[in-house]
Amino acid sequence: HYYYTAGEALPDEVMPKLHDRHLAGKVMENVVNPVGAIGIGAMLLTFVGAGVLKMIGRRNEVSTSENQEDK
């Protein structure tokens, strides 16, 4: 493989070597990161859902009070 920079081809020998990750790094990448993303998504969904429910409840409350004032 050759890497190109500024119009010149660089052979693999001059590029940094990639090393295999240790077990802890693999666990972080494959287990912890997806679980964290799911947790953040669940928190976001919870707060958005609570906000929507509160907004619907407030709208019903205002509608009820306006209907009582009209009578």
DSSP string, 2-37: EEEETTEEEEGGGSPPP-PPPHHHHHIIIIIHHHHH
Instruction: Kindly report the backbone phi and psi dihedral angles of residue 55, in degrees, each rounded to the nearest multiple of 5, phi listed first.
Output: -65, -40
Let me know if residue 39 belongs to a domain: yes
Supply the pTM of this predicted model.
Answer: 0.52
Q: How confident is the model at residue 67 (pLDDT cuts 50, 70, 90)?
A: confident
Q: Alpha-carbon distance 46 to 52, whole Å?
A: 10
Asked if residue 4 is part of any domain, the answer here is no
C-alpha closest to that of 15 among 4, 26, 24, 25: 4
Residue 1 lies in a domain: no
Residue 7 lies in a domain: no
The number of residues making up the chain comes to 71
Domain count, the chain: 1
Residue 26 covered by a domain: yes
The per-residue pLDDT for 4 is 59
Which tens digit of pLDDT belongs to each residue from 32-62? 888 888 999 999 999 999 999 999 999 999 9
Query: Which residue range forms the structural domain that includes residue 54?
Result: 18-70
Q: Kindly state whether residue 10 falls inside one of the protein's structural domains.
A: no
